[in-house]
C-alpha cells in the first residue's frame, strides 16, 4: 500500500471522542468533528485541536466559505462554535446547542 493511502486510511479511521480538551491530539477526536469537517479545518490550516482555542468560530466559517467559493451551511458555524468553546474548556456539547446563540449573535449567515 502506498504511503498516501496509508496516511489517508489512518486519518479516516474512527478516533475516540475526547471528553476534555487536553485529550485531543487529532481533529477527529473533537466532539462533532468527523472526517469531512476535519478536512475543512485542515484546509484552513488547522492541524492540531489546540489551535482552535484561540480562533474565532465566525472567522473560521467565513474563511471556509471564501476558500471553497461557496456559502457553507450555518450548522458548520454552529460546529465551529462548539469546538472552539470545547478547546477553551467547555463541556462537550452537540453542535445544535449553539444554533440559538449563533442566530442571536450573527443573524442569517
> What tens digit of pLDDT does each residue of 70-106 get?
999 999 999 999 999 999 999 999 999 999 999 999 9
Q: What is the arithmetic mean of pLDDT over 40-60?
A: 98
Query: Cα separation of 82 and 109, whole Å?
Result: 17
Each domain of the chain, given as residue ranges in start order, spans 3-106
pLDDT of residue 25: 97
pLDDT of residue 13: 55
Is the pLDDT reported for residue 45 higher than 50? yes
Candidates 8, 67, 64, 71; CA nearest to 37 is 64
pTM across the whole model: 0.87
Amino acid at each position: 500500500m502506498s504511503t498516501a493511502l496509508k496516511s489517508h486510511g489512518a486519518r479516516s479511521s474512527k478516533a475516540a471522542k475526547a471528553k476534555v480538551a487536553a485529550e485531543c491530539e487529532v481533529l477527529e477526536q473533537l466532539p462533532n468533528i468527523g472526517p469531512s469537517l476535519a478536512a475543512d479545518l485542515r484546509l484552513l490550516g488547522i492541524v492540531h485541536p489546540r489551535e482552535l482555542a484561540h480562533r474565532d468560530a465566525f472567522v473560521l466559517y467565513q474563511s471556509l466559505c471564501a476558500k471553497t467559493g461557496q456559502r457553507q451551511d450555518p450548522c458548520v458555524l454552529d460546529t465551529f462554535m462548539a469546538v472552539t468553546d470545547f478547546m477553551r474548556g467547555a463541556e462537550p456539547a452537540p453542535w445544535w446547542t449553539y444554533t440559538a446563540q449563533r442566530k442571536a449573535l450573527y443573524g442569517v449567515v
